Amino acid sequence: GKKWVAFGTSITDTNNSLGEGGTPTGKYVPYLQKMSGMQVTNKGIAGGAIGVVSGVLTGQIMTAIKSSSNLAAIQAADIITIEGFVNDFVGNLPIGTIFDTDNSTLMGALYEAVTYLYSQNADATIVLLTESTGQYIDSSHWFPVTRNNALGKYQYEYNDAIITMAHYLGCHVIDAGQKSQINQWHTEYLADWIHHSELGGKQYAETIWDELKNIHCNSDVVIT
């Protein structure tokens, strides 16, 4: 019965028909909802990024997090997850440092997002989710672990930055990208170059739930 607000990319977004067979690309959310019994408000954005790179990335995830239309859900939430950020990786958003405070870098974007969410709901349990890698399909669609971007960075470095910022900001992080083993060696979990198959969605959800079920909500801590 806990209230869950889910921000993220197409991996989270269930409000589209861009996945296999015209299904949504966001496969893990329904499985995690069923496992956990949470009430979900899904704010995933297919193609969304959290950072801004002029002419490339527009920071749609950050816009959603700070949108007045989502404020009521944020203020009522027991748990807020932020999944990402493969689009920022492909769009060459600089990783930055822990001292950054705006979304011109990944670390700055996470600082901005998490501190904003805490300012609106200090009791929320915030959990960052790292993103899985993909496979080679063709020269336009390839996301194996060996791919680097124009900055010479690899996807694991973006996931490492997410983990670092969670430690710095004092929120939770689940390294579902690595621990789910959704990658080029387990293609049964992939519907295409990066999006999850139904089996992959179940696997990603199971990986998150392995840890999430042992995280108590801040709102549950009371003295009687």
pLDDT attached to residue 150 = 98
In eight-state DSSP terms, residue 69 is G
141-142 vs 136-138, strand pairing mode: antiparallel
179, 10 Cβ separation under 8 angstroms: no
pLDDT attached to residue 43 = 98
**Average confidence (pLDDT) over 12-26:** 96
42, 14 Cβ separation under 8 angstroms: yes
**Band of residue 4 on the pLDDT scale cut at 50, 70, 90:** very high
Residues 110-168: pLDDT tens digits?
999 999 999 999 999 999 999 999 999 999 999 999 999 999 999 999 999 999 999 99
116, 65 Cβ separation under 8 angstroms: yes
pLDDT attached to residue 187 = 97
pLDDT attached to residue 79 = 97
Distance CA 49, CA 51 (A): 6
Percent over 90 (pLDDT), the chain? 96
pLDDT attached to residue 198 = 98
CB neighbours of 34 closer than 8 A, spacing ≥ 6? none
**Band of residue 65 on the pLDDT scale cut at 50, 70, 90:** very high
CB neighbours of 139 closer than 8 A, spacing ≥ 6? none
| pTM more than 0.75 | yes
Distance CA 22, CA 155 (A): 27
Inter-helix orientation angle 28-36/198-212, to 10°? 40
Number of Cβ within 10 Å of residue 170's Cβ equals: 9
Quick check: helix, strand or coil at residue 144?
coil
pLDDT attached to residue 94 = 98
Residue 224 has pLDDT above 90, yes or no: no
For residue 52, the surrounding DSSP H or E stretch is: strand 52-53
184, 193 Cβ separation under 8 angstroms: no
Residues 45-54: pLDDT tens digits?
999 999 999 9
Quick check: helix, strand or coil at residue 44?
strand
pLDDT attached to residue 73 = 98
- Mean pLDDT rounded to a whole number for the chain: 97
Residue 219 has pLDDT above 90, yes or no: no
Residues 185-194: pLDDT tens digits?
999 999 999 9
pLDDT attached to residue 113 = 98
